[in-house]
Chains A and B, each alone.
Chain A
């Protein structure tokens, strides 16, 4: 479904992603893990067209989407739920959600999508007329995910959705990912929370200093000695 080949990304003179290869198959749940500053966010932003790559190729459903604008790539069916939520703070929950349904197809299905989303995250229904800035951290993250779902994506990419959340809420949003996966959603999850992400994902990649240093099945990576020592702590 998504195929990234030889991707290199730089901020001005400073290159932060080097020759990265990554595949996500239809219906798969894939995780990309790595420490602070490894280049995870940069990779995702480059895939969705927020940062133009220096070289390499991004293909989605067989189509070359390298260097396309972000607002066009959403229409193709990739949604990024960005790091730090990036909600529209002065707008209500409902307004935030409606902005997520931008494409004509998404607009047509808006009513159904909303119902579906309120089933997954009932709390958003209660908070529908509150502005986003008044939500708690967990509610905010749920809204960010829900807003991403409003476009009815084929591929959902999530950048550190568990950041700053209490363990109970982390469990809750991971449960929502499982549910989405069961309903057929393709998911690319970026996390620093290595153990959690790798036990969720079918396949994983470990990114360090802008390069993929390990890849394999989720369980396999979880058993990997290096990963256990450095990231899982025992």
Chain B
């Protein structure tokens, strides 16, 4: 799960770092992505890794629309309105899912869902390994996009100084739309990679959204590396604690680590100020 957490958190952190808005609907984006993967599998027999691009693009569109239609019009008002808007969106999406798909747990059972690889005494689930690899690959590709491409450079410019970026001819509102979209696409990839290993249900976002927040704060606001390492740490702590105790206690362990780090370093592991 570490890779999945890392991807979600990188997306959340990106949106926060550039737009200065906390996306409370982040977990619900994941939930919708998981449903898209589920239906693509159930109705059309598409493996989640085949439907992955579709899921990523759908959530990208959802993110871009959220920014373009909801947040951008609120930019000139008090910041609290933008936060309230994402909370509203979170509640709306969760209820929409409840209405459309009831509260059933739905799972994607692929041929490899139960397969595992043994290394000595250890048995690692193949689906989890694959999810991890895809998540890490996506994170690296995203990092390259941010540092090596024109769009990435513009996004970083807006994150560092939106007004100065305007003076360079960059339309910061369009960059905001691209940013929210990219953050969404990362969640979409996470959702597809996660669907062979976890159930889709309307409140699954409420389970994983908060974890992403913990990771972002743990790693440091605005830090890409922080979100990545933070995701891995929380993922590893949860899985080790999960083996030793049980899943509920594992979440508590992750939270304990989070508090410990914050007591020692309030800005998070890699944080200074909100910068990408």
A joins B in a complex: yes
Q: Nearest-CB distance from B13 to chain A (Å)?
A: 15
Size of the chain A interface, CB-CB below 8 angstroms? 26
- The A-contacting residues of B in range 144-159, CB under 8 angstroms, are 153-154, 156-157
- The B-contacting residues of A in range 82-109, CB under 8 angstroms, are 82, 86-91, 95, 98-100, 102-103
Q: Nearest-CB distance from B274 to chain A (Å)?
A: 12
Cα distance A87–B163 in the bound complex, in angstroms? 11
Cα distance A99–B276 in the bound complex, in angstroms? 16
Q: Assess the B164–A70 pair: CB atoms within 8 A.
A: no
Stretch in contact with the other chain, from B62-70, B100-108, B167-175 = B167-175
A57 interface residue (CB < 8 Å to B): no
B95 interface residue (CB < 8 Å to A): no
Give B163's nearest chain A residue, CB to CB. Answer: A50
Q: Assess the B169–A103 pair: CB atoms within 8 A.
A: yes
Task: Tell me whether A71 and B161 are in contact in the complex, defined as CB-CB below 8 angstroms, given that A98-B153, A99-B153, A99-B154 are known contacts.
Answer: no
* Contact among B153, B156, B160, B171 for A71, CB-based, below 8 A: B171
Interface centre among B163, B165, B168 (most CB of A within 10 A): B168
Cα distance A21–B123 in the bound complex, in angstroms? 78
Q: Nearest-CB distance from B169 to chain A (Å)?
A: 4
Give A75's nearest chain B residue, CB to CB. Answer: B169
Q: Assess the B171–A86 pair: CB atoms within 8 A.
A: no
B166 interface residue (CB < 8 Å to A): yes
Q: Nearest-CB distance from B239 to chain A (Å)?
A: 34
Known: A69-B171, A70-B166, A71-B169. 9 other contacts (CB 8 A): A48-B167, A69-B166, A70-B163, A75-B169, A86-B167, A88-B161, A89-B160, A99-B168, A147-B168
* B contacts, CB < 8 Å to A: 153-154, 156-157, 160-161, 163-172, 275-276
